[in-house]
Amino acid sequence: MVIHTNSYTLYLHGLPGSGDELRMVELSVPHSPKVIAPLDFQALDSFVATHGKVRLVAFSLGAFSALQMAATRPDHISEIILISPAGPLELGDFLENMAGAPIFKTAHASKIGLLLLTAMQSMVAFVAPKFLLTQMFAASCDADKELLNDPIFVSCATAGLRQSLHHNAKSYRHAIVKYVQPWAEKLGKVRCDVTIYHGELDTWSPVEMSEALKSALTARTELIIEPKQGHYSTLLNVLPKVFETS
Alpha helices by DSSP H, 73-222: 101-109, 111-127, 129-136, 142-145, 151-162, 169-179, 207-216
Percentage of the chain lying above the pLDDT 90 cut: 87
Cα(first)–Cα(last) distance of the chain, in Å? Answer: 11
pLDDT of residue 40: 96
Give the pLDDT confidence score for residue 2 in this predicted structure: 41
Pairing between β-strand 77-83 and β-strand 193-199 as defined by DSSP bridges: parallel
**Residue 3 confidence class, pLDDT cut points 50, 70, 90:** very low
- The tens digit of pLDDT for each residue in 108-123 reads 999 999 999 999 999 9
Q: Quick check: 200 pLDDT over 50? A: yes
48: Cα within 13 Å, side-chain hemisphere? 18
Query: Which residue from 41, 31, 28 is spatially nearest to 8, judged by alpha carbons?
Result: 31
| Three-point CA angle 50, 53, 58, nearest 5° | 110
Q: pLDDT tens digits for 54-76?
A: 999 999 999 999 999 999 999 99
The yes-or-no verdict on residue 237 having pLDDT over 70 is yes
Return mean pLDDT, the chain: 92
Fold of 1-246: Rossmann fold (3.40.50)
Buried b (16+ CB within 10 A) or exposed e, 42-55: eebeebbeeeeebb
In this predicted structure, the answer to whether residue 26 has a pLDDT above a threshold of 90 is: no
Give the model's confidence band at 4: pLDDT under 50 very low, under 70 low, under 90 confident, else very high: very low
Instruction: Give the residue, 240 or 212, on which the prediction is more confident.
Output: 212
What lies within 8 Å, CB to CB, of 242 at 6+ separation is: 1, 2, 3, 57, 81, 83, 197
Q: How many Å apart are CA 59 and CA 43, to the nearest integer? A: 18
pLDDT tens digits, one per residue of 202-226: 999 999 999 999 999 999 999 999 9
Find residue 193's DSSP bridge partners. Answer: 79
Q: What is the pLDDT of residue 28?
A: 63
Confidence band of 37 (pLDDT split at 50, 70, 90): very high
User: Are 85 and 63 a contacting pair, CB within 8 Å?
Assistant: yes
